[in-house]
Structure 1
């Protein structure tokens, strides 16, 4: 009796196994199955190819001679050799400028600042909030001054030219007006874009009686403004952190860095050089004998 009870208790204490269905594993996708058969050397070749493309992309857009810019993260700015006439270009991004400090202590590569380019307008309605003060102060403190317009893709060239003319009252001794072109509308043909830029230049030239200066960066000039019709305008080229320009045409100004530092200006400022002597720079100004002559100068009108 005791033995049978023991057997029944031991059987009762056992757990019955659960009846479960077999686990079905998902089959790997076709892509994964194919990748499993790729040999190791192919993985290495693919990795090197991707790295090579990345290096080329980085070099082309940031380091090469056709790059727009290369931001100097370490060390000091390299100044172009063989140029003595230096200048800056400014806008509201430089804030309120201490012009007396800039005139008395400001220098670039141990050379005085000879000219100041000042942003005036953008599109057909915008006026740089510091333009009028900067434009007045630059002349009061003895700098050769100029004014530039930032070309917009959102309004017509004629409306933008009219806006610049109504805003900027250039005087004898000022540099010619400047057109800053850095963008092209995606849906506009190259011919239409070039005609639009040319229209602004021609309208402004007709008003002030002097050929405007054309500003753009190196690669943009080669890609979109490389027509001979634009070579008649003084060229101001933006090309950063290169020892020498690769551009083969004529140019007057070179914006060689956007990370300059000067007393009287908070934050970075663009540095430029003029391709010539100070006499050449002054001969380029409105009212000089090599532009239109004092007697032929037409005073800007209030409306266009």
Structure 2
């Protein structure tokens, strides 16, 4: 735990990250819907990170890691493992800096996410859809390339970068009672906790997770990390376990974790497409699904929701399967 404490990013790290990445990211808009406000009984503010150039919030943490490398460190490039969005965002940031990026992705990752990685000149090595296969394959790839490992979420540079999203959200909405974000490995939630615990300590942080991949919920209840090796959910971006750094933020700052069924996630995804008129991937719909399911906890509140990504395979929409 001592080693972990030494790596925990600070609020100043988040501010430094925002200065570093501002030229490489977009200030994404906040959308509202009268219909969704009426449906939930809350004032909902959707931070549209799906409008980032690579289509996901993870460009924040990836850019902070890539542009924080020294010239010497950058020569060998970067490497990571990811189900998709971190891979594409790290490839994008590496392309901007002109350095190589090697990524390990599950063979079952959506084709849209693989296409995005390749568009940004990332080199893909496929693995089986399990945490163990992902980590074993990555160890081999990194040994071969020597690139700087940018973990998709258990990395202080990444967490500091993700924390810039909630900073913007608070500034764009003049304050919130609650912020809800999806949770898989916990990078976005950790960044949200990092920022709000200083910037807006009165704002609750709530995490949203699929019922069929609820290891963060079970960890939260048990008071220790519980990791599943190969969970399945339509929310493909949320199928990885918490790690030591993200567990620090979840266990110390998250107020509650709610879960939603696969059908509830798909229905919430439809509502976002229809009433916000934006493309959100299934993982991004989990927060709205949990708010609809637990409406009493949110009624009358000002609630920020982070739409984490919009990289969807349009030929395999979940309501057509």
TM-score, L = length of structure 2 = 0.31
In terms of Rg, which structure is larger? 1
TM-score, L = length of structure 1 = 0.32
